[in-house]
Each structure stands twice: as C-alpha cells, then as structure tokens.
Structure 1
Amino acid sequence: MPVYNGERFISESIQSILNQSYTNFEVLVLDNGSTDKTQDILANFARLDNRIRIILESKPLGYGGEVASNVAARQANGLFIAKLDADDVATPDRLAKQVTFLLAHPDIFMVGSQLTLIDEAGNVTGSRAYPTDHDAIYNEFYLRFPMANPAVMYRNILQDDLYQIRFPHFNDYYSLFLLIRNGYRMHNLPEPLTAYRIHTANTVFTNLRAKWRSNMAIKESFVREFGYKASKTHQIKLVMITWAINLLPERFLTSIMNQARQVLKA
C-alpha cells in the first residue's frame, strides 16, 4: 500500500485488511514523504499489530505510487502480493477468495475482481465491471485497463519490478499489458472485492487532459510495438472520449468522466 498525505482514509484502508477472514499476511505500507498526520497514524497501527511494516521515504517517489509499490514489493515475504490503495477498502473475504483461486489455478499469475464505487463518506455510488477470463481481458486492453489495479493479487515470482516506468502516467496499465504479452495469465473474479473511492484528491482525476495523452500513447504502443488489433467499436469509443476531453472545460471533466466510462464501458 503506497500512501502520500493519506490521513483522511488510510485508517479505514488498513483496518479493512486487519479485518480479513484470511489472517496469514503482512502489510507493507510505504509512506511517500507525507507531510500530514499519515506517519503518526501508521506508527500507531504498527504498534498495535506486528504484521504491519512501515517503509518511510523522505520525499515522494512519483508516478502515482507505482515506484513506491515496486519498492515495497521487493521486501515482500509472501507467496502472493496483494495491492490496495490508501483510500480504498477491501471486503473482509477479499484475501481468502484470491488466495483460494490462485492456489487452485497455478496457471494464473494475477487475479483481480470487480469494483464497488464509493464516495468520500463511504457511500456506494456505483460499480465497475471487468471481464473475467484471460482472453476477454486481453481483448479489452486497448479500450481500457481491464484489471482494477487496487484489487489485484499476483504471484511473488517476478525477477524484475512489476511496474515498468516508461510513461508520465498509467505505467500500471502499460506494465500489465507487457506481462500478458509475455505469457502471464490473468483472471478477474466475478464479485467486487474492493471498494474504489472516488473523491476530489484522486490522482487519476487530476490533470485529465495530460493523463489522457499518456493513456493514448500507451494504447498506440500496444498497436505499434506489439501488433495489437483493436476492434472498430473500441476505436470509435476512444474517439468519442478523446473528443469530449478535448472539448469540455477541464473543471467539468472530473464530474462527468466516471459517468462517461460507465456508459461507454471504458
């Protein structure tokens, strides 16, 4: 769990892991140079539960927590590594269901889930659905990121970092595509096991135009470098989204972007 100035939600996120029905885990939290009360909150949790390990960085490592996740993962002792962002919430059976699935399916490298969407107060505002089987996941990679990054669990077998840093944003999207192209199989469980919190400080909802340019550059790399064949339907949807992002005032984009993704299934 990478965190930067996460005092508002970090306690709820960590507590959702401590409340898991599966209890054989360690929690590695990497603080990215927080200047609020995050470090105090983390220290208190670590005093109360020796399964919590805190890694402190003096300044933010950047790239949306992906570098921080790499640093933490290098210190992980477990057979599997699960991701959770510092403002999201895991259901009590998340780890149990994902561990059970990976043990039963040795050919699968990574397992995710569907998402429940929540607001700042934790109220459910919607859901986000993802394809479940490996082939369907691959077929949607050009349209969108078909794995929910804060909901994944993967095998601790990589010789290199999970996240390859190449683009200004969304290197998780690019990196998982590289893995799937290199033969690592993926699956999403059909139920929501993580609640994804949408709020004004979400990094994914800031600087939307610049981030969309990174998103499209990543998609273009799929086609140009790996020969990915995107469907006409997916290409048309992306043209529509690009048109809206370029046309609408930036201040309106955050409020409508998630609704647009729901409608377009992107």
Structure 2
Amino acid sequence: MASPHALQARGLELGYGERRIISGLDADIPPGRITVVVGPNACGKSTLLRAMARLLAPTTGSVLLDGRSVHAMATKEVASVLGVLPQTPVAPESITVADLVGRGRYPHQGWFRRWTPADDEAVAAALHATDVLDLADRPLDELSGGQRQRVWIAMALAQETDVLLLDEPTTYLDISHQLDVLDLVTDLNRERGVTLVVVLHDLNLACRYADHLIAMKDGRIVAEGRPTEIVTESLVEEVFGLRSTVIPDPASGTPLIVPMGRHHVDTPTAPAT
C-alpha cells in the first residue's frame, strides 16, 4: 500500500514572465484520495499542477510535500514520492515504448543499484494495465496520438510513486479509452492508496471520478469539496459561464451537468394584423 503524504500549496503566486496566472492560492490535497481540478481554459489549473510537480517555481509562496518545500528537495527524493504526467511530454527521438516506460524506474536506481526483476515486473505491469504490451518494441514516434498517451501513462505508473499528478491524461483518447484510463487510476487509488491529482476538461467525468473536486476560475479556487456537495447550476454558470441543469447521473449518482446552451429560441408569435 502507498504511504499517505501531505501535499499543500501556501500563498502561491505563479506566472510566466510578466503574466501572472495565480496569486495568493492555498490548497490542501487529501491524502489517499482522487482530487480532480476543473475550470475553463487558461484558468490556471495546469499551472497549479506544474507547480505541485516542481516544474514551475512560484514567484512567492510554496508547495509543501510533508511540510517541506518541493523546490528545496533533491530531484530524486521528490521523484521517489511524486510522479507526474505533464500535458505535452517530450520523448527522445526513436525511443521504443519499453525503453520509455522503463525510464519511470529512474527514482529506484541508486549509484550501485542495477536493473532488477522487480523493475521488469513494474514495467510489464504498467504496459499491461494501459493495454500497450503488444507495442513494447515499437518506436514511440510511430504510434497514434492515443497510443502515445497510453504509453506516457504507463511510464508514470511504472514509477510506482505514492502521489501521482496527471495533467489531462485523457487527451487524444476516445471515450472508451478515457473511461479505461480513469478506471485504471481509480483502481490505483482504491487498491494501493495512491494519492491522485488529475486535471480534466470534462466536468461530468470529473464529477464521476473525483473524491475531491477543485473548481478554478481566473487563477483562484471558486469551490472545493465532494462533487455531490459543491456542483450546482449556479457554480457551473459562475465557473464556466454555462447555463445548465444538474441532475443525478443514473449510473453513478454523481452530478450530471446537462447544458442548456447560451442561445435559446423563443416560441414565435403570430405577426400583428
């Protein structure tokens, strides 16, 4: 079982160059649960995840892992606890699927530790879980977008960390594989206790899979909590600018957002005579 870890943001200010994206943000990620971050484009959700993953240094404030700033910790120490799948990962040219997934074992390799049967097992399990085992010997750049995405997820799984950050892991996937991936990370959480933080665009999928939902807009957290407690028609309109009806999902019982659209056609009236 994974060990619980405290991941927190305190007074975060984040941006790119002179452009400020997030200011004064505090967040607590519930250990051993699935947290999903949602919000409109450019609201700061991926920026927040990048900071938590130590890929973006805050201007002020800090990201704390078990009370210590992740930016003050050694890279390998962070990587042994916290895995990350960024939105647009880049792989070396011509690398094979198996070699890329094997790089997820990097945090487990010490100065004198060589590749072991445990590493082979972790890689094989990750390839199997993401349904890419038959692609193990193929070069990554020969695969479709959806296949590549599943390979990147396999690399993150092979790292076997207690905390896993996934930035839009369902990108390029059809609805069937989207559900497969989200079922997979749910299994990781339920069976191993892995703490997950996932950025998703699809609010209905977020409501279905999240234990803890963070809704963001304009670089701030508008609401957070269990989807059944916070997702309302007024929240959807405030965050996404979308009028909707929120009903229980017949399959899961979680909130289901039915958009009404921004334009409505009134019933025509007869012309005056």
Normalised by the shorter chain, which TM-score bucket? under 0.3
The structure with the largest alpha-carbon Rg is 2
Higher relative contact order (CA 8 A, sep 6+): 2
Q: Which structure is higher in strand share?
A: 2
TM-score, L = length of structure 2 = 0.24
TM-score by length of 1: 0.25
Q: Which has the larger share of helix?
A: 1
